[in-house]
Structures are given as structure tokens and as C-alpha cells.
Structure 1
Amino acid sequence: MPAPHHVLLLGGHGKVAQLLTPLLLRRGWDVTSVIRSEEQVTAVRALAPHLTTRRDDGDGDNSGEAKVGKLDVLVRSLEAVKEERDARAVLEEVRGVDYVVWSAGAGGKGGSDLTYAIDRDAAIHFIRAAAATPTVTRFLMVSYLGSRRNKPAWWSDEAWAAAEDVNTRVLPHYYRAKLAADEVLYSVSKERASSGFVGINLRPGTLTIEPAGKVELGKTGHSKGKISRESVARVANLLLASEEVKSTWLDLLDGEEEMEEAVARVVREGVNAVEGEDVF
């Protein structure tokens, strides 16, 4: 069994993060959930109870409960992260972190200043701080499907035009902010590859509240489409638990493949949707 991990989950009150938290805890991993206000503490703490599973010690006796990870909650404003040292201070405060998940963001709401402050600046500061922390070996970013500069070879002209419409007309500030952070994560991951640092960029389509289901993961056939938030959380959980995953961009939509099979496939084949981008 792999050793337990300690995950710093940034944006822990978000819908995807709340679905991801119990999955990580069930693995026996510790989670420190970073949220923006005291009013959110109760809801996040409520994610931990009732995690009861059976333990198999390998001797045929699976009686007893498996070890469930510990959930801590940390109230910190990501908007206040103005420099890399601010992000580093959070990492130093939460001792023992080896995995970082970014599931935070203004989501294009609150005006362009807030979008750039969180989705670009704070995200980049945490990426760089995590990469500079020797104990951190994995950073998973939740981005979005259309965050790219160039038309990928596997998209049609129509698909690219649809993505450009969203990026330039509907959510231009969100697009610029997310793309900047995505590119920094990829570049930093390449720089630290020899030390075992892995940067995973999970890029879902339009999020829904539907139950988790089958997925299309890796290089999707279209730039638009829907994906369940629960599916995003489950795929993120599987990617974090994969021993063989490398730094990669993985686009995600509802599809026809079982998610466990999809994750195993993209890891085995080294699928990377960053192809065609300048950083690649």
C-alpha cells in the first residue's frame, strides 16, 4: 500500500472540492482545506463524519475500520496572496503537505480585478511556492477545457471557433487568468521533473450537478460540452492516487468510457492535451 499523503486543498468550500474531500479522506490521506471565511467552516467540517469502510489486512480478516484521514480547516484569503512568500507561508504553516490541489477561483465573477488576483496571481504564487517546497511532489490544478492559445490538431475549425468565442467574448478575463496559471504550472513542472514533481492540469467542460458517470478524458473531440462535478472530483481523486501519472493537461467531458479505465489509459499512454501549445 502506498504511504498516506497530506493534501492541501485550496478552495475547499467549492462544489468540486467538497466532493473531492471525502474521497481523499477515505484513502486514509490527511486533508487541510483552505477556505475564505469562518462561515464556511461548519459545512466543510461536516464532510468528514460517517466515513466508515472495512479494512483488509491481507490475512483474510477484513474486520475493523480502515484508517480515515484527518480533516483540518484553515481560513485564509487567497485574494490576500500577493507574493510567492505569502503562499509559501501557508505551506509552511500546514506541515507535512506533499500534494496540493487548486480548486479555487473567482470563476469570472466579482469583476476582472478579483479574477486576476485569484485565478492568475494567487494560483501562480502557489504553483511556484509548491514547486520550491522539497516535500511537495504533486500539484493538481482544476482549470477549464478552453484554456489554450492555439487550435489543437484534434479539434475541428468549428470547435476552435466555439472556444475562441467563449475566451474572447464571454469570459475574456477568466480565460487570460486561467491560461497564465496553466502555462506556469506546465513550465514549472518541466523544470522540476527530475526531482519527481508532477503538475496535473485537469480541464473540465461546463460543470453540472448530475451524478458521476462515464467520461471522455484526455484529448476531447470538442471544445464544448458538459461534465458532472462529481465526475471531476472522482477523476481528480484517481489521478492523484496514480503512481505512474506524469505532468500533463487532460481535458474532461461526459463520455462513454468508465472513469477508472479512462484514467488508466491516459496514464499508460502518456496522453497530453498540451500538444500544440507554445509551452509544449
Structure 2
Amino acid sequence: MPDTKKVLYIGGHGKIGLLTTPKLVEKGHEVHSLVRNPDYKAELEGLGATPVIADITQQSAADWAQLVDGFDVVVWGAGNGGRGGADLTFAVDQDGAIALVEGMESLGEKAPRLIMISYMGATTNEVENDGGSWYAYVESKKNADNRINSSSLDHVILGPGLLTEDPAAGITVTEPSSVRDGDAKTPRELVADVIAEIINEDKVPPHAPLEFYTGDKPVSSIWES
């Protein structure tokens, strides 16, 4: 097995973060979990993570560079998802993510690998501009993913389908040229398994982005081209 990694999970108290952390800790990885609310510290420590308290909306590119320096992998699992309105969605899902990318780029060859949790079809999805939260989310994820793709960072963007609370079974990885199934469902636990697989194997899957949903193949099939 490759060497264990020092991992920063941004948005560590999210549902996927709480599922991913123990999987990484079990394999010996050193997990630092970034959250805004210090009330989550005890829960994160109980999972084996080291809490990092920071507000994504207040982090400049320079702040991010200082924060991520020394990590091997950064996982972006944060997202307002429209819950706090359009302005907050843009601040977190777009501006915060892009500031992270710019900060990581400034580290040059020292930059960690970036794993971005996005959603299936994020870079091509189009919705009417009604000024609402969903439009803000769609545009934010599109702009953040495109910024990552234009960077020189070692990265992988994950594109799960509709997230569910179902237990993880197998996986189906979609081909880049295939027609996307808008009703395809992806258990959050499966996303956690994919993140753990990428970190455990210490490499990037051949699919860009890696779009997937529940299926009958093992998670290790993400390495198949």
C-alpha cells in the first residue's frame, strides 16, 4: 500500500465528510477536518480527525496557501447548496473554491492533490437566471470546476448523481461521451468510498471528470479507462 497521507477535508461535518473521515483514519491517513462551527470539534475528534476552524467566505488565496501548505491531499466537500440564499452560495461554492485553487496554485510543485466533490454534468448544466439559489449553485459549481480544469493542479473532480442515504453497493462510471441519466442516484457512502480509494491508491482516475452512480462493479473499477 502507498504511504499514508496528510489530508485536509474542507467541509468535514457534511454528510459525505462524516462518512469519509473514518474510512481514511482506518487506513492510517492523518485527517484534518475544516469546519466553521467550533461546536463540531468533539464529534470530529471522535472520528479521529483534527478539527480546523475557519470560515470559507473569509479565506483569501493567500490564507488558503498558508493553510494547505504541507498537506498531501485537499478534499473540497463544502457547499452551501443554496440553503443560505444566492449570495452565500456564490460566496462558498464559487468564490471560496476559486480562492482555494488560486492559493494552491501559488504553492507550485508543493501544491497538494485536489479532490473536488461536484455533481454530474456540472460544467454543462444550464438553468434560467431567476436570481435564485439553484441558479447560483449551478453557476458556482460550473465556474469553480472550470477554474480547476484550467489550472495546473493535480486534481480530480467527482461527479456523483442524485445523492441518497442508501448504503453503498457497486459503482457505474459513465463515459464522457455518454448521455447522462438525470435520475441516476449515488449513495453518499459510495462517494466516500471513491474518495478513500483515490487517496489510498495515491493516483488520479483516467476519467475527467469522474462521473458515477450506483451500479454493480467494485469501486476499484474507477481505474479502468
TM-score (norm 1): 0.72
- Which of 88, 108, 114 lines up with 2:65 in the alignment? 88
Contact between 1:84 and 1:126, CA under 8 Å: does it hold in 2? yes
- Which of 102, 118, 125 lines up with 2:92 in the alignment? 118
- Which of 175, 183, 195 lines up with 1:224 in the alignment? 183
Q: Which residue of 2 aligns with 1:135?
A: 110
Q: Count matched residues.
A: 219
- Please list every run of at least 4 consecutive aligned residues from structure 1 whose deviation after the TM superposition is greater than 3 angstroms: 163-170
Deviation at 1:98, TM superposition (A): 1.5
Deviation at 1:123, TM superposition (A): 0.5
2:184 aligned with 1:210: no
What do residues 7-65 of structure 1 show as CA deviations (whole Å, max 9, x unaligned)?
A: 111001001011111111122111111011111112211212xxxxxxxxxxxxxxxxx
Q: Which residue of 2 aligns with 1:171?
A: 134
Q: Which residue of 2 aligns with 1:242?
A: 201
Structure 1 residue ranges without an equivalent (≥5): 49-70, 150-162, 270-280
Q: Which residue of 2 aligns with 1:264?
A: 223
Distance 2:82 2:149 in 1: 22
What do residues 68-114 of structure 1 show as CA deviations (whole Å, max 9, x unaligned)?
A: xxx31111111212x3112223225xxx2121100001012101110
Deviation at 1:132, TM superposition (A): 2.5
- Which of 174, 179, 183 lines up with 2:146 in the alignment? 183
Contact between 2:89 and 2:133, CA under 8 Å: does it hold in 1? no
- Which of 141, 144, 149 lines up with 2:119 in the alignment? 144
Moved more, 99-108 or 219-228: 219-228
Deviation at 1:119, TM superposition (A): 0.2
Q: Secondary structure at the match of 2:8?
A: strand
Distance 2:160 2:105 in 1: 24
Contact between 1:218 and 1:249, CA under 8 Å: does it hold in 2? no
Q: Which residue of 1 aligns with 2:215?
A: 255
Where relative contact order (Cα < 8 A, 6+ residues apart) is larger, the structure is 2
Distance 1:243 1:98 in 2: 10
Equivalent position amino acid for 1:84 in 2:
A
Equivalent position amino acid for 2:87 in 1:
D
Structure 2 residue ranges without an equivalent (≥5): none
Alignment of 1:9-20 (within 5 A): 9-20=9-20
**Is the alpha carbon distance of 1:205 and 1:246 closer, same or farther for their aligned partners in structure 2, counting shifts above 3 Å?**
closer
Deviation at 1:184, TM superposition (A): 0.8
**Is the alpha carbon distance of 1:42 and 1:175 closer, same or farther for their aligned partners in structure 2, counting shifts above 3 Å?**
same
**Is the alpha carbon distance of 1:167 and 1:235 closer, same or farther for their aligned partners in structure 2, counting shifts above 3 Å?**
farther
In our comparison, the structure showing a higher alpha carbon Rg is: 1
TM-score (norm 2): 0.88
Equivalent position amino acid for 2:201 in 1:
S
Deviation at 1:3, TM superposition (A): 2.0
Q: Secondary structure at the match of 2:31?
A: strand
Identity across aligned pairs (percent)? 30
**Is the alpha carbon distance of 1:166 and 1:218 closer, same or farther for their aligned partners in structure 2, counting shifts above 3 Å?**
farther
Alignment of 1:29-40 (within 5 A): 29-40=29-40
**Is the alpha carbon distance of 1:226 and 1:246 closer, same or farther for their aligned partners in structure 2, counting shifts above 3 Å?**
closer
What do residues 200-230 of structure 1 show as CA deviations (whole Å, max 9, x unaligned)?
A: 0001111111111112124364133211100
Contact between 2:71 and 2:112, CA under 8 Å: does it hold in 1? no
Q: Secondary structure at the match of 2:209?
A: strand
**Is the alpha carbon distance of 1:166 and 1:9 closer, same or farther for their aligned partners in structure 2, counting shifts above 3 Å?**
farther
Q: Secondary structure at the match of 1:212?
A: coil
Contact between 2:117 and 2:158, CA under 8 Å: does it hold in 1? yes
